[in-house]
Amino acid sequence: MTSNVAEYEHVPDDESYLTGEDVSMPEEEEEEEEEEDDDDDHIYINEETESGREKVLVSHAPLERIVPPLNFCPVERYLYRSGQPSPVNFPFLLNLKLKTIIWLSNEEPQDTLLEFCDSHRINLQFAAINPDAGEDDNPWDGLTEHSIINVLQTIVTQENYPLLVCCGMGRHRTGTVIGCLRRIMGWNLASVSEEYRRFTGSRGGRILVELLIEAFDTKLVKIDKNKAPSWLLTALE
């Protein structure tokens, strides 16, 4: 004898099943997601309190990205080196409060850099490494001490600071000037070469540059101790 067993399904407390409506609650989930997204716009730190560790709002995230120029690096206090800055780097440069930018090239920098310096009253000093080179000449032929000395005279004078030395890529021309500065500071050649090669990338350094740095006569740069940066005076002691 077969018994008929009635199967009962669980009936929801509300009557939404009668209309076929979805009873899920997406609105609350969306609100939670929105709250999580809002966290991305702030910077938080953890603070220890009596009730435990809490997330405390510190400030808003920066409205624009702060990007340093290619091969940017501090050399000494308020003295920096880099490749040619582009517009994306300008907010970063503003934080440095630069007074002088030395441009090491036979060609003029980009118009955007010229406009940036003009707008913010930054002294842009042109210092062609080889001012006599023609359009078809290798800019490294006839590398002159005269141009390097002029740049170094600017660097050893405190009134020009904060100061940025730059060239197209921030490698060889900038490396030449900084290498000669290190010689003035009394660095040994091994340390000077190591610093120079650190910025040259996979291609390595140029023998011509290292030979010029080695042969550079540091006595040609006149240093006024009343006007020189403090870090230079310390190095010369």
Task: Give tens-digit pLDDT for 82-140.
Answer: 999 999 999 999 999 999 999 998 888 999 999 999 999 999 998 865 555 555 455 44
Which segment, 12-26, 27-41, 213-227, is predicted with the most confidence on average?
213-227
What domain count does the chain have? Answer: 2
The DSSP call for residue 26 is H
Predicted local distance difference test score (pLDDT) of residue 17 = 46
Note whether 213 and 158 are same-domain residues: yes
Predicted local distance difference test score (pLDDT) of residue 65 = 76
CA gap 205, 237 in Å, rounded: 31
183, 219 contact by CB (below 8 A): no
Asked whether the whole model's pTM tops 0.75, one would answer no
Residue 128 lies in a domain: yes
The three-state secondary structure class of 57 is strand
Q: What is the Cα 123 distance to its own chain's centre?
A: 20
| Active-site annotation holds for 73 | no
Residue 187 lies in a domain: yes
Nearest Cα neighbor of 177 from 232, 237, 234, 128 is 128
Cβ of 14: how many Cβ atoms within 10 Å?
Answer: 9
Model confidence over 180-189: pLDDT tens digits?
A: 999 999 999 9
Choice among 117, 166, 167, 180 that is catalytic: 167
Per-residue pLDDT, averaged over 159-184, amounts to 96
Residue 133 lies in a domain: yes
> Could you tell me the two tokens for 139?
């800019």
Name the amino acid, one letter, at 35.
E
CA gap 40, 126 in Å, rounded: 43
- Torsion sign (Cα): 215, 220, 225, 229: negative
Q: How long is the chain? A: 237
Q: What is the CATH number of the domain that holds 81?
A: 3.90.190.10
Range of the domain at 47: 27-60
